[in-house]
Amino acid sequence: MSASLTLSDVACRRGGRLLFAGVTLAVTARGALVVTGANGCGKSSLLRMIAGLLPPFAGDVQVEGRIALLGEASALDGERVLSAALAFWAKLDGLADPDARVAGALADVALQDLADVPVRLLSTGQRRRAALARVIASRADLWLLDEPATGLDGASVVLLEQVLARHRARGGIAVVATHQPLDLPGAATIDLAAFRAEAA
Ligand SMILES: Nc1ncnc2c1ncn2[C@@H]1O[C@H](COP(=O)(O)OP(=O)(O)OP(=O)(O)O)[C@@H](O)[C@H]1O
């Protein structure tokens, strides 16, 4: 199956306010979409909508492929060592070789030397890279990344860009909400502020 994402005239309402309306776009395998816009314009809400966690107020969201969401929280158990916290999630998806996938993902984000360290002891940037490793190990087709570069140093931003390039080269799709510029060749960009709904 080939991954794809299609939004048709999508609107989002939260807390009684219409955040945006009229969003129509399509992303196909190997594609990427950068979502920009001021704080509160609905970037995280759009990602949650694509993930199926929030129903669209209007319009239609179609996804082909398995989804992984990188939200603000890492979703990793702070009391477990990093490799075990990641393996917990990798085993849930039912795919083969969870431990090998975790080891590969840790190497992708240069955390292999911290595999035996409890998650709660990781630094902010390390925790962010660990959360990205969870997404990598999932082997999902459609990655939804909410501010993945927050807290990352320059070298780690380059790692993130490389990881995204490999994911797309394998036929994956990336949707990235970010305030920071990222090098994502050929990515489409949507400024959600331009779709701000005029009426509540
Ligand atoms: N669970 C909720 N219930 C009600 N309103 C919410 C909820 N979650 C978010 N909102 C509101 O929806 C709006 C959009 O929030 P969202 O997190 O999607 O914005 P964002 O563009 O990702 O912002 P930022 O750049 O600060 O991350 C905000 O005004 C927020 O207060």
189 CA from centroid of ligand 1 (Å): 20
For residue 199, pLDDT beyond 60: no
Domain locations along the chain: 31-52+66-186
46 CA from centroid of ligand 1 (Å): 10
* Residue found by looking up tokens 């704080």 in the block: 39
Secondary structure (3-state) at 155? helix
CA distances for 107 relative to 31, 101, 151, 159, angstroms = 24, 10, 19, 10
CA distances for 57 relative to 13, 45, 60, angstroms = 6, 11, 9
Interface ipTM: 0.95
Rounded to whole angstroms, the Cα distance separating 175 from 145 reads 6
Reported as type and span, the H/E element at residue 134 is helix 124-138
Which pLDDT does position 74 carry in this prediction?
A: 74
Which pLDDT does position 64 carry in this prediction?
A: 97
Which pLDDT does position 95 carry in this prediction?
A: 86
For residue 90, pLDDT beyond 60: yes
Specify the higher pLDDT residue, 198 or 117: 117
For residue 198, pLDDT beyond 80: no
CB 14 near ligand 1, within 6 Å: yes
Rounded to whole angstroms, the Cα distance separating 143 from 135 reads 7
Which pLDDT does position 1 carry in this prediction?
A: 59
Q: Which fold has domain 31-52+66-186?
A: Rossmann fold (3.40.50)
> How large is the C-alpha radius of gyration of the chain?
17
CB 31 near ligand 1, within 6 Å: no
Q: Record the pTM.
A: 0.95
Confidence grade of residue 108 (pLDDT, cut at 50, 70, 90): very high
Please, are residues 49 and 10 in contact by the beta-carbon 8 Å criterion? yes
Ligand 1 atom 4 nearest Cα: 15
Q: Average of pLDDT values for 115-126?
A: 96
For residue 112, pLDDT beyond 90: yes
Rounded to whole angstroms, the Cα distance separating 116 from 82 reads 6
